[in-house]
Structure 1
Amino acid sequence: MKNRRDFLKEVCPTAAFAFFGVSFLEACSADSLDEDTGDGTTPPADNGYTKSGSTYTIDLTHSNFSELAQDGGWMNGSGIGIQALFLRTSSTSIQAYSNRCPAHGQRNQWEKLSNSTFKCNHAGNSYSTDCDNTQLDCFETSLDGDKLTLTM
């Protein structure tokens, strides 16, 4: 006769999968929603940008990028598929940084404290927007009128 522990080991996983189904497996997936899972091509929806390899061409007149219209404006591109923080530093310059928090890897818990500092609210750490003195990766950008080119 089997003991209780052996019985639970054999029956409980089967019962749990039958009860919870595939959604249980998906909820326990090791995949992170914070990671870029794109294939390097243009996204299917009109999000205001195209992508070719690691280069994004962004239409700043698109509503997704309205926060970048004014100097000091900023946004996190995570919600539209671009894993970067953007900061409008002047009428002729937009800087871009990795939106992965150096301390814990979070991508969607950012705020701008000033034109020179971003804060990752997951751990409360602050990071300079000076690309020469920051723990954030800075990306190459080029602004031509209403077109921003970003190379990650």
Structure 2
Amino acid sequence: MLGLARKTAALLIVICLLLTGCGRDPGPDDTIRNAYAWYVRELKSGINPLEQKRTELQQFVTDGFLTSIDNMRSELEASPFIDARSFDAKLSIEKITKDNRAATVRIGLSGRISGQHKLNVYLVKIEGQWKIDDVKLVEEFSLAERPERSG
């Protein structure tokens, strides 16, 4: 009887381990959510993660993206993305386009102070992990705002 109980327990453990292994890998949207939550948490604790937490930041972004951030530092210093008091935006994932190596995720940021912004976040998969490689503001025009075409 004891042998059957051990075999049953062992079988249940193996099944549980297999089922947890069947869970999906984190997707590009998970990387964005995790990076955003971490970034906001750091800002709100009085830390500038772009300067003081670069090692931790590297888990979310590529080296190339860090270089781009360094090149834009003067522009970023004056932006609401550095000032925790004005950083109240909520993140929404709007669209995900991906293949095995790259992804584009359209996100929305909306906040009382920061207003509404749509961005495309470009990610690449490096050693099985999605990393942010670029972020671009999406220019949206209404029909009335579109520049006239000549010709």
Q: TM-score, normalised by structure 2?
A: 0.29
Which has a greater percent of strand?
1
TM-score for both structures, normalised by structure 1:
0.29
More relative contact order, 1 or 2 (CA 8 Å, 6+ apart): 2
